[in-house]
Amino acid sequence: MTESSPARARALFYAHDRKEVLSGVDIDLPAGRVTAIVGANGAGKTTLVELLAGVRSPQSGEVLLDAPVALVVQRPDAPAMLPITAREVVALGAASPVARSRTSGRRVREALERVGAESLADAPFARLSGGQRQRVLIAQGLAVGAGVLILDEPAAGLDERSRARARAILREEADRGVAVACVTHDAADIEAADRVVTLRDGVATLTREASFPVKP
């Protein structure tokens, strides 16, 4: 069976300060599958997902997208006086130019509920713990409703219960046809993925692929 891949990259090259990070990377993110992107620290995983999401531009090669992309970053530092609530952070996703509709109020509520953060809606984002921020950022990505969902270390700062919830959410998104990819070091996340792409020496290799989507 041939699967469509709404996000693809071919022959990606990228260097930081003249140090080659990605060297001719090819990767496909199939719809309806969860792809884990793994590799040692410094292997270029974050650079790769930023290129796929359009945050960076490749120095050579190309990224081919047939659907909007939502990128969930690792929890950022936030100034203590940043005047924005968790609800407003998620609303930024719902109001994104690539969001599938503008009925943002309901989308925001649903996204916060799915990550178990509805009680944090009115809390200042800057005052949340690292794990709480991560859940809010995952909700922001869900609120976009994009056809491609990419997450950079979604398990970072989460307790085991929240990690399990995040894995279930990614499976739900894949089951409705979204192409899901996550950078991860978490063994349970890797085991739950349908596909594993390993970055090593600047090259991406598909090191595992299930014949059918993995079910929890």
Mean pLDDT of the chain: 90
Q: Name the range with the highest mean pLDDT among 22-26, 78-82, 157-161, 210-214.
A: 22-26
What is the reported pLDDT for 212? 75
CA distance 168 to 162: 10
Write the CB contacts of 26 (distance below 8 Å, at least 6 apart in sequence).
9, 10, 11, 12, 204
Residue 210 pLDDT > 90: no
Domains of the chain: 1-67+147-216 (3.40.50.300), 79-145 (no CATH)
Report the pLDDT value the prediction gives residue 105, as an integer from 0 to 100.
85
Tokens encoding 142 = 């869900």
Q: What is the pLDDT of residues 106-161, one digit of tens each?
A: 889 999 999 999 999 999 998 898 889 999 999 999 999 999 999 999 888 889 99
**pLDDT for 28-64, tens place per residue?**
999 999 999 999 999 999 999 999 999 999 999 999 9
Q: Is the whole model's pTM more than 0.85, yes or no?
A: yes
The mean-pLDDT minimum among 12-21, 64-73, 92-101 falls in 92-101
